Amino acid sequence: MPQEGWHVLHLFYRIERSQWEVLSHDEQIRAKTGLTKLIQEIRAIPQTQLLVFSMVSPKSDLGFMLLTPDLHVANACEKRLTQGLGTDVLSPVYSYLSMTEWTEYFTTEEEQGAKITAEKGFAPGTPEFTAEIEVYRQHMAKYKQDRMYPNMPDWQVFCFYPMSKRRNDGNNWYALPHADRRRLMGGHAITGRKYHGKVRQLITGSTGLDEFEWGVTLFAHDTYQIKSIVYEMRFDEVSARYAEFGDFLIGIQLPLDELFRRVGI
């Protein structure tokens, strides 16, 4: 078990049609029934979530997003899912391992207190000040819970991409003072808040775990909102100067019976 947070494993597969078509109709039914039972078993594991996607574009056919605190569980589930439709039917095309994490750029209680005094004139120790601080504490507790131990939505449109911060001579993110990095990330957050209720976002850390430094998972009801938030954020200085992106993968969350029909099995 990790000290804090959950492991997050994104898995993407191609369905090998030649292997699938070799199976008889009865064998195909048993394979789909077996995968359905496996998905249900994984979803029944405590503190574990498994989302399934029909992937859009030939980059992959089938996608999974697994969240679980235990790396052994993640490892076992990944091996079983890969064999979930039988030997060699699912061929892995991409995977990404990361962990939920807290942000180092949050507003501290001392900073929030100074802001309350400056903006509202409430002195520390007064009932009004104490009430405002309590609202801040509740907000931060929920925000941290949502980042570290999220409950993933059933919104249909899914987008995943990995990213890193540049470390070249001209734009080295890690050479910037913390105050500068925090200011830049604050501007990024302002852009993100414009999409509240339209896009759900989960940022997971992967430094030391995979080839990029973060994984970004987005959910929306409308593809337009995914496209819009990613495009608008490109103009934020933190992205324009310091961001490097991997491939984008788009999928759709569907009930399993409909998903099977969609992917052609």
Annotated catalytic residues are: 161
Q: By C-alpha distance, which of 95, 97, 91, 77 is closest to 35?
A: 77
User: Cα separation of 156 and 250, whole Å?
Assistant: 11
Q: By C-alpha distance, which of 162, 181, 159 is closest to 236?
A: 181
Contacts of 60 (CB under 8 A, 6+ apart): 12, 13, 14, 93, 94, 249
Q: By C-alpha distance, which of 253, 255, 89 is closest to 160?
A: 253
Alpha helices in the chain (DSSP H): 17-22, 25-43, 71-82, 109-120, 127-148, 178-193, 223-233, 237-242, 256-263
Vertex 40, ends 162 and 222: CA angle to 5°?
Answer: 45
The alpha carbon of residue 226 and the mean position of all alpha carbons in its chain are separated, in whole angstroms, by 13
User: Cα separation of 50 and 65, whole Å?
Assistant: 6
174: which DSSP letter?
G
Residue 162 backbone phi and psi in degrees, to 5: -95, 155
